[in-house]
Structure formats: C-alpha cells, structure tokens
Structure 1
C-alpha cells in the first residue's frame, strides 16, 4: 500500500493505493470516527458543510469507487456488497477499528451491506434519506432505473446534466450556494462509476442485507433512519415506513430536501451527534 497525503483540512483530497485499487477521501476533525458515504450523484466534497458542526469527531468521507480519484470497481455490474468490500479494505488501511457509519441515499444501501459484512467494526449505523433499491421490481423498471441517469450524463454532458438535476436534490427555495455545491459535485461525475452505481441501485435492495425476521433485530448494531422533511426523492413516508419495518427510530430534518446534510447541516449534525455520542461513551 502506498499513501499520499497533504494538509489535514477537509477540503483537501487524500489518496492511497489498495490492492483493490486507488481510493480517495476527505477528512476533518479529531476524536471518535464517523464515516460518511455519499449518494449516487455526489462525492466526498459534498460533506464539507457538515464538518464545521462535528469538529469533535474524526470525519472520513470517501469517494465511492468510480467517483473523484477512486478507481472504479472491477465488476461492471456490482452489488452493494462489492462496495462494502472496498469500504472494508479502505477502513482496514486507515486502521479504523470502530466507527459510526452514515450512509446517505445510495450510500445507505452500501452501509446496510457493510453492516452485514463487518458489524464488529461498527458502533452504529445511520441510514439517511435511504435509497431502497429496485431489485424486486420488474425487468422493465430495473432497466429504466439503470439507464435513467448515466446515459443522460453521457448524452447531455456534465454541465447540462447538473443544471437540470441539481435543484431536485434540495428543498424548494434552497440556498443558491447549496444548489451550486450540488451542481459542482455532479460536474465531477465519471460515467463509468455513475453507471456502476446505477446498476447497483436498479438491481440490489437495502433490505436484502438485513435480517428482518420477527425473532431477531433487523440490524446487528444500533441504527436509526434520518430523512429531510421535504425530500422528494426518497420521501419521508418511504423512509419512515422503512424505519418501522426495521424497528428503528426515525428522525426528520426540518427544511431539508433529499441532500438533507447540505440543506440543513446543523440539524443533520445534531442528529448524528445525539445518536453517536452515547455509543462512543459506552465503548
């Protein structure tokens, strides 16, 4: 493994080379570790608004395989488990023994797979504005979901794609600087990584990695569900229903759309801190 680091500011990207490929991330703070997994149209840089509110934690925000400087997965048709394996290799390389894992949107599917893979590494899991996946939909719907994003990016180009879709991730009347942040993230997307993530969304399912039998809890670690009250993509109704199916606490984020941690970083951070602090104190 080779490592390349620069200054310890969150805004600076870090890279290392794993046996599985190059991996990039952003980092800030000191203290117990919280790992941040972004959604399908985003990247590690999108978590910057959250960093100033969680300075008493070490925040590790990865760029998923195929995003930013992270090498794409070898499997062109991956499952969430493929992402979980890369995540595990990265955390192992960084010597992260225990953490709270926060998965946003598609990242929540990756977080559920990682919970099944390595529960012993987790103090807790937060499923934020969670994408549920379309594994159980009919073939036509899965194909539509798979091709609805990356093909538009390839055909329209980054600037047009970002201009058309960025505001949908935020609440109505969102701060223009927040829209610009989402748009900038979309302009950094790579078609290959975007296509792989789209395949996973279309053909896998968050709950497929969780044991939902009546006799056992759905997750092997403490967990909760968060959702922006104005989320138009993974709606509060769908997220609350997921929390009920899994027997988990639910918390809404006021005045926040799908990218709730960008719309309302302070409220999102408070929810994360309230969940995480007792877990780390217990340990």
Structure 2
C-alpha cells in the first residue's frame, strides 16, 4: 500500500488522521497554523485522497493503524504525537493498542472509545451497501454531512458546510464502504484509556451531534493527566469549524511534550 501524505513545518512530528468521509485536505488550517511548532504530517487514510488503493484487506481499523506504522517507518520516525478526529480517532486508538511504544503524545478529537451499538453498526453497513450499489457517494450529502457541521457554523459560515459536503460526495464509493464496515466492527477501546502514559488532549465541539461533550469528558477523565478542551459554537469537525481554537489546544499539548 502507498499511503499518501502532506507535510508542513519542522520539529516534533505531529501526525493528524482525518475524519470520515474526508481526506487530509481537511487539515489545511492545522498545517498552516501549527507548522511553526511541529512537523505536521497529514496522511490520507486507505482508499481516500492520495491513498487511492484499497488493497485486498478485509475492512478493519487495525489495518489502517498498521498502514500508519508503515508510513512512520518509511519516514524514519520512531515516535510521534498522534491525533485523530472521528474515524481518525478510532484509528489512533487502534494504533495505541497495537503500537503504544511509538506514541509521544495523543490527541483525540470528536471521537469515542466505545464500539458501535448494534443499531449504529447496522446503519453503517446500510450506508456502505447504498454507495456500492449506486457507484456514487452522493447519498452522503443526506446521510452523513448534516451531522458533521454544527448548526452555528452552518448558519454563519455556509461555505464551510458546502466545502465539507463537496469533499464527502467526492470520496470514492469503495473507500466509503470499506471505512464504514471497518468502523462497524471496531473493538471497544475503553480499557486502553487508563493505561495511556503520554500527554493527552481530548477535544470536542459543544454542538457535536455525533460525539457528545459528556462522552468526551468521560474519556478525558479515564486517561491519566488528560486535558479536555470544549470548543463553543463548533460541531463535529472542530479543526475545520474553529481552527484557531483547535490549534491553540494543540500548541498547549505540544508545549507539554517539549
């Protein structure tokens, strides 16, 4: 597998994993805003963006975690500060399970440690089947996008909503289906949280319709020494909706790591 990525800046390596069904382009404001503080590396996860191939692997986020490990090896990076939002957070937790020795810090944004409920998993499989049958990701405009952006952002900055919607419907249907099925079978990572030994930041938008602030608070409470940053007026995509507030939190995390 060739995992595409974009870089900016120098210093401590900060790897940021994108949300479903987007790609590394969603991190543009972080590459610009954090490049003076870190070497910001934003991979395209399997099937998305410049990582166009899916390969033959069955849908499993452990596969995505191992893709990241191979990328770090290719970049000669032994340890990194790893951040993920939404699906990217699930992959970050899978990476924590499989490769904990490679983490110098952890950022979990608008994500959760728990597995899907049966109902949520069934809905993911339904969406996967829908895009495969249609040969198009257009249905994501109705099925997924409305929950990605907070009401405040959608009302005050409709251009942000439209940009996210365009990226979502442009996602390759095969990648959308693979990712949905992988998320549907992901393992519960709750038991990992108490064992995290690196500086950690948990971020959540106060208007997040997918991962509630209370759930983010429970996750932060379970991680020793973790800090929680709630971002007012933002929904599920905090780094896109409130980039400066998001970046301020990340800078503080980087300062703790040194």
Q: TM-score range by the shorter chain?
A: 0.7 to 0.9
Taking structure 2 as the reference length, the TM-score comes to 0.88
Query: Against the structure 1 CA distance between its residues 246 and 88, is the aligned structure 2 distance closer, same or farther, given a 3 Å change threshold?
Result: same
Distance, in Å, in 1 between the alignment partners of 2:135 and 2:188 is: 30
Distance, in Å, in 1 between the alignment partners of 2:105 and 2:217 is: 19
Q: Give yes or no for the alignment of 1:39 onto 2:39.
A: no
Distance, in Å, in 2 between the alignment partners of 1:104 and 1:28 is: 19
CA apart distance, 1:225? 1.3
Q: Give yes or no for the alignment of 1:61 onto 2:55.
A: no
**CA RMSD, aligned part only?**
2.2
Q: Secondary structure at the match of 1:211?
A: helix
CA apart distance, 1:229? 1.0
Structure 2 unaligned spans of 5+: none
CA apart distance, 1:24? 0.9
Q: Secondary structure at the match of 1:26?
A: strand
Taking structure 1 as the reference length, the TM-score comes to 0.81
What are the residue-to-residue correspondences of 1:75-94 with 2, within 5 Å?
A: 75-78=57-60, 80-94=61-75
CA apart distance, 1:104? 0.5
Question: Does 93-102 or 187-196 show the bigger shift?
Answer: 187-196
Distance, in Å, in 2 between the alignment partners of 1:245 and 1:278 is: 19
CA apart distance, 1:52? 2.2
Work out whether residues 146 and 201 of structure 1, in 8 Å CA contact, stay in contact via their aligned partners in 2. Answer: no
Query: Against the structure 1 CA distance between its residues 141 and 33, is the aligned structure 2 distance closer, same or farther, given a 3 Å change threshold?
Result: closer
Distance, in Å, in 2 between the alignment partners of 1:53 and 1:179 is: 21
Q: Deviations over 1:206-238 (max 9, x none)?
A: 516x435xxxx3313222211011101111122
Match of 2:222 among 245, 248, 254: 245
Residue-pair matches, total: 251
Match of 1:272 in 2: 250
Q: Which has the higher helix share?
A: 2
Q: Deviations over 1:21-74 (max 9, x none)?
A: 121112222222110101121110111122221121211111101112312142
Work out whether residues 34 and 247 of structure 2, in 8 Å CA contact, stay in contact via their aligned partners in 1. Answer: yes
